[in-house]
């Protein structure tokens, strides 16, 4: 079966009534979808990004990362002086 997107324009109160009729699992799905799309501050986005990076790079120890960061700082500062 083909999928087709449809834009509905319904009053907000009617939308709330429809949501109230959903089962708990469907409500959780909507909640998760809305949370992913919420507008966040740059601090929250930065924190989220750091957490996602950490998840994808968990094979590196904190010491390795700090060493790389310190080496990068030295490299940048050395380049800035030249």
Is 37 buried (19+), middle (13-18) or exposed (0-12) by CB count in 10 A?
A: exposed
pTM for the model stands at 0.38
Q: Give me the average pLDDT of each 10-residue run along the chain (82 residues).
A: 80 90 92 78 84 86 90 89 67
26 in a structural domain: no
Residue 1: its pLDDT value, please? 66
Q: In this structure, is residue 71 part of a structural domain?
A: yes
- Tell me, yes or no, whether 14 lies in a domain: no
On whether residue 30 sits in a domain, the answer given is no
Alpha-carbon gap, residue 41 to 65, rounded angstroms? 26
- Rounded CA-CA distance 2/8 in Å is 19
Of the candidates 82, 45, 64, which has an alpha carbon nearest to the alpha carbon of residue 72? Answer: 64
In a domain, 9, yes or no: no
Number of domains in the chain: 1
């Amino acid at each position: 079966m083909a999928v087709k997107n449809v834009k509905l324009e319904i009053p907000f109160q009617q939308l709330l009534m429809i949501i109230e009729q959903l089962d708990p699992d469907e409500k959780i799905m909507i909640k998760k979808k809305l949370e992913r799309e919420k507008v966040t501050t740059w601090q929250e986005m930065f924190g989220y990004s750091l957490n996602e990076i950490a998840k994808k790079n968990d094979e590196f120890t904190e010491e390795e990362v700090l060493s790389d960061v310190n080496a990068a700082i030295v490299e940048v500062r050395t380049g800035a002086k030249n």
